Structure 1
Amino acid sequence: MENRTPIPDLIRLATTTADVDTLLQMMETFCHHFSYPFDRPLRQQLIRQMLENPSLGSLWLVVDENRPVGYVVLTYGFALEFGGKTALVDELFIEEGHRGGGKGRTVLQQIQQTADELGVSVILLQTEKYNPRAKRLYESIGFVDQERSTLMWKRPN
């Protein structure tokens, strides 16, 4: 029998107006870090949509001594290939001063443990090709690069 050490809770669901403000601040930092566009009103609207309709996904705050230091966003889909409901780790962010100490690993382990409760058959994530450190982390906890597909996208007309 495997002896598993319990993982201390590092994430909690975002549910309050204060959580929305905290998420927006960290999302802006995340987007600037990766040079992604950041549209505050749009992000605020999307967060509210997710909070009002949990079937779209869930927003989690990463906390250290009850202080938010990051966030993770799961969005939900459905795929025959993967046996039903899927969760995409849409964004994972941990503040600079809290990186490198295992928080990212613990957050993803907690998300994996929560998958059954969420009714999720598979957790998907993507990482930038220029971020081998993140890829190594994901692979070290069991995520697999299928190397058979490329994520492509197009906005509807």
Structure 2
Amino acid sequence: MPTFRPATAADLAALLPVIRQFHADEHIAWDESRVRPALEALIGEPYNGRLVLIERDGALAGYFAVGFCFSLEFGGRYGLLDELYVLPAQRGGGVGKRALAEVEAVCRAEGLRCVRLEVSDDNPLAREIYRRSGYAENPRRLMTKWLSGASEG
């Protein structure tokens, strides 16, 4: 049975290789100089969101990062599940499903009424886990524009 706890600055050394692995699996460019300050902002300022470790039998099994956003469409603040990753050796037994329930509990505790997430088109297993947990696809596409002076991924 997995357990969940907020990440601390002391966890970053062990967590960064796991996040790097997630980025490689999802074909996301790795830039530790951009990721580390974002992690520190999640750890240091709870209003931004949460960085949570997933542990199983005392070992790091994965993590999730949920950011708190604002939308008129959703009536104010909502949760954006930015990253959820379970290490391959730790998969199975409902770890992902339990992690999603924990994401939702974190958001409810913040008074949020909605959680959104991104999932790659080439990850049908994750999409199915999300669907079975009650998430539905939207008929719109997520689009991104990097602002001048910001580094692209």
Same-fold call, TM cutoff 0.5: yes
Match of 1:41 in 2: 33
Equivalent residue pairs, number: 148
1:15 to 8, 26, 45: 8
Residue matched to 1:107: 99
RMSD (Å), alpha carbons = 1.5
Aligned residue type for 2:53: L
Q: Does 2:130 correspond to 1:141? A: no
Question: What is the one-letter code of the residue matched to 1:154?
Answer: K
Partner of 1:153: 144
Q: Which residue of 2 aligns with 1:58?
A: 50
What TM-score comes out, normalization by structure 1 length?
A: 0.87
Q: Which runs of 4+ in 1 moved over 2 A?
A: none
SS of the residue aligned with 2:143? Answer: coil
Structure 2 counterpart of 1:31:
23
Structure-2-length-normalised TM-score: 0.89
The structural deviation recorded for 1:9 is: 5.8
Distance across 1 between alignment mates of 2:19 and 2:2:
22
Give CA deviations for 1:61-80 in whole Å, capped at 9, x if unaligned. Answer: 01102221100000110111
79, 86, 91: which one pairs with 2:71?
A: 79
Q: Which letter maps to 1:12?
A: R
Contact kept in structure 2, 1:58 and 1:75, CA below 8 Å = yes
Post-superposition Cα deviations, 1:15-50, rounded to whole Å, max 9, x if no partner, equal 242x11122111111112223211123211211122
Maintained 8 Å contact 2:65/2:82: yes
2:25, 2:120 → 1: CA distance?
13
Contact 1:10/1:106 (8 A) holds in 2: no
AA aligned to 2:141 is T
User: In 2, distance between residues paired with 1:99 and 1:141?
Assistant: 17
The one-letter code sitting in structure 1 at the alignment partner of 2:146 is R
Structure 1 residues 86-109: Cα deviation after superposition (integer angstroms, max 9, x where no partner): 111101111111113210011001
Identity percentage of aligned residues: 27
